[in-house]
C-alpha cells in the first residue's frame, strides 16, 4: 500500500533522510519511531507529496507521489505535526472546505462531515471557531480532516502530542479501529504507543532506518542469547558458583540483594532453556527459590540501544 524506496532528502548541505526504504501492507498500522529530529516528519512529508525527495521515491496505492500526485493525494489523509486549521473558520466550515478540496462529492459532504465529527468526538464544537479550540480539540479536528475523504492511507505525525491521558487512550483506540480498513503510518517518540497500537515498527535515527520488525520480534531479537533472573535465599551458601555450574549457564552476576536473599542475572546459551535445571538445583540444595523469570528488554531499552549504537558507529565514521 505504501512503499518507500531508497528515499533521500537533503536540505542544502544537511541530509535529513538517507536511503530509507520500507513498506506498509494494506490494513497495517506501522509505527514510525525515532528521537526528535530523526527525519520522521521529513519522510512523512515526502510520502504525502508535500515535498519532493532528493533521491528515491514513494508510492501510495501504487501511485508515485511525484509522478501522479493527484491520484496519490486523493488516497492519502495527512495529519501534520501542527493541525492545519484556519483560525477564523468554524469547525464545520473548516471541514466542509476540506471535504470540498479533497474531492468529496457535493451531495455527500454534509453527511460525511457529520459522521467524521461524531467519530472523532468533535461534534460538540462544530460551531466554534478553530482559533478558540483547546489543544486536544485542535488535534482531533486535524484528525477529522485527515479522515474526511475516507482515504486508503493515513499518515499521522504524532497524533497524540499535547493530549491529556484520557484523550490519548481514546485517540489510540480510534487509530486501532482505523487499521484494518486503512493503512496507517503513525510517527511518535512515545514508545508504549508503538507497542500498544502498531503491528510493525520502523525505527529511524539520524535519517537512517536502524530496524524494521514487529514490537515482539524486536524484543526477542535484541535479547540476544537471553538471560534469566533468579532470586535465591541461599542461607549464606555460595549460590553464585553453584548456579554457574548448571549445564547451559554461561555466566552469573549479582544484580540485587534483599536481606538474606540475592538476585542473580543468569546468562545462558541461546535456545537452551535452563529454567528447570536452575529451579531443581536451588530446591535440591534446600534453598528458598523466591523468584525465577526470563528477563525481557523493554522497547525503551531496545530503542536506546539501537539509537545509541547507531550514534557511536556514525561518529566513528566521521
Provide the minimum distance between the beta carbon of 142 and other proteins in the complex, in angstroms, as a whole number.
9
Cβ proximity of 65 and 46 under 8 Å: yes
Q: How far apart are CA 255 and CA 265, in angstroms?
A: 6
Considering the complex, state which of residue 102 and residue 206 has its C-beta at the smaller distance from other proteins: 102
Q: Angle at Cα 292 formed by Cα 297 and Cα 195, nearest 5°? A: 25
**Which residues are paired to 188 by β-bridges?**
33
Q: How far apart are CA 36 and CA 206, in angstroms?
A: 9
Considering the complex, state which of residue 16 and residue 306 has its C-beta at the smaller distance from other proteins: 16
Exposure b/e, 85-100, CB count within 10 A at least 16 = b: beeebbbbbbbbebbe
Which of 202, 159, 201 has the alpha carbon at shortest distance from 178? 159
- Footprint on this chain of other proteins (rule: CB under 8 A): 9, 11, 16, 42, 45, 48-52, 69-71, 73-74, 76, 78, 80, 82-89, 93, 97-98, 100-103, 145
Provide the minimum distance between the beta carbon of 3 and other proteins in the complex, in angstroms, as a whole number.
18
Q: How far apart are CA 76 and CA 116, in angstroms?
A: 16
Provide the minimum distance between the beta carbon of 278 and other proteins in the complex, in angstroms, as a whole number.
56
Considering the complex, state which of residue 82 and residue 225 has its C-beta at the smaller distance from other proteins: 82
Provide the minimum distance between the beta carbon of 17 and other proteins in the complex, in angstroms, as a whole number.
11
Which of 206, 200, 163 has the alpha carbon at shortest distance from 185? 200
Considering the complex, state which of residue 42 and residue 160 has its C-beta at the smaller distance from other proteins: 42
Cβ-proximal residues to 242 (8 Å cutoff; 6+ apart), any chain: 234, 281, 285
Considering the complex, state which of residue 11 and residue 180 has its C-beta at the smaller distance from other proteins: 11
Provide the minimum distance between the beta carbon of 170 and other proteins in the complex, in angstroms, as a whole number.
23
Provide the minimum distance between the beta carbon of 209 and other proteins in the complex, in angstroms, as a whole number.
20
Considering the complex, state which of residue 109 and residue 200 has its C-beta at the smaller distance from other proteins: 109
Give alpha helix (H) positions in the chain: 40-47, 69-74, 91-101, 106-119, 135-147, 165-178, 191-197, 215-222, 239-244, 275-284, 299-317
Can you give the length of the chain in residues?
318
Q: How far apart are CA 147 and CA 178, in angstroms?
A: 9
Provide the minimum distance between the beta carbon of 75 and other proteins in the complex, in angstroms, as a whole number.
9
DSSP letter (8 states) at residue 89: S
Considering the complex, state which of residue 98 and residue 243 has its C-beta at the smaller distance from other proteins: 98
Considering the complex, state which of residue 120 and residue 262 has its C-beta at the smaller distance from other proteins: 120
Provide the minimum distance between the beta carbon of 185 and other proteins in the complex, in angstroms, as a whole number.
14
Considering the complex, state which of residue 85 and residue 266 has its C-beta at the smaller distance from other proteins: 85
Task: Name the maximum alpha-carbon separation found in the chain.
Answer: 82
Provide the minimum distance between the beta carbon of 118 and other proteins in the complex, in angstroms, as a whole number.
22
Amino acid at each position: 500500500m505504501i512503499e518507500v524506496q531508497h528515499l533521500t532528502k537533503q536540505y542544502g548541505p544537511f541530509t535529513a533522510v538517507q536511503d530509507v526504504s520500507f513498506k506498509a501492507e494494506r490494513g497495517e498500522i506501522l509505527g514510525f519511531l525515532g528521537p526528535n529530529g530523526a527525519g520522521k516528519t521529513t519522510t512523512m512529508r515526502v510520502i504525502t507529496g508535500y515535498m519532493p525527495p532528493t533521491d528515491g521515491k514513494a508510492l501510495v496505492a501504487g501511485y508515485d507521489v511525484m509522478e501522479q500526485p493527484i491520484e496519490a493525494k486523493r488516497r492519502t489523509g495527512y495529519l501534520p505535526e501542527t493541525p492545519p486549521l484556519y483560525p477564523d473558520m468554524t469547525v464545520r466550515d473548516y471541514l466542509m472546505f476540506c471535504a470540498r478540496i479533497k474531492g468529496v462529492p457535493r451531495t455527500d459532504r454534509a453527511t460525511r462531515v457529520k459522521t467524521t465529527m461524531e467519530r472523532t468526538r468533535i461534534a460538540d464544537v462544530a460551531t466554534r471557531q478553530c482559533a478558540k479550540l483547546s489543544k486536544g480539540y485542535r488535534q482531533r479536528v486535524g484528525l477529522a480532516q485527515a479522515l474526511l475523504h475516507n482515504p486508503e492511507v493515513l499518515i499521522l505525525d504524532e497524533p497524540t502530542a499535547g493530549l491529556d491521558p484520557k484523550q490519548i487512550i481514546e485517540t489510540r483506540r480510534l487509530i486501532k479501529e482505523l487499521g484494518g480498513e486503512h493503512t496507517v503510518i503513525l510517527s511518535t517518540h512515545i514508545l508504549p504507543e508503538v507497542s500498544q497500537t502498531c503491528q510493525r515498527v520502523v525505527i529511524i535515527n539520524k535519517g537512517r532506518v536502524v530496524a524494521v520488525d514487529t514490537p515482539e520480534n524486536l524484543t526477542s531479537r535484541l535479547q540476544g542469547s537471553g538471560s534469566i533472573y533468579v532470586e535465591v535465599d541461599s542461607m549464606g551458601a555460595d549460590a553464585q558458583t553453584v548456579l554457574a555450574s548448571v549445564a547451559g549457564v554461561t555466566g552469573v552476576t549479582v544484580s540485587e540483594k534483599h536481606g538474606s536473599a540475592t538476585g542473580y542475572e543468569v546468562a545462558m546459551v541461546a535456545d537452551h532453556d535452563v529454567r528447570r535445571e536452575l529451579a531443581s538445583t536451588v530446591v535440591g540444595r534446600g534453598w528458598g527459590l523466591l523468584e525465577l523469570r526470563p528477563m525481557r528488554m523493554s522497547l525503551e531499552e531496545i530503542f536506546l540501544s539501537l539509537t545509541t549504537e547507531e550514534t557511536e558507529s556514525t561518529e566513528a565514521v566521521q
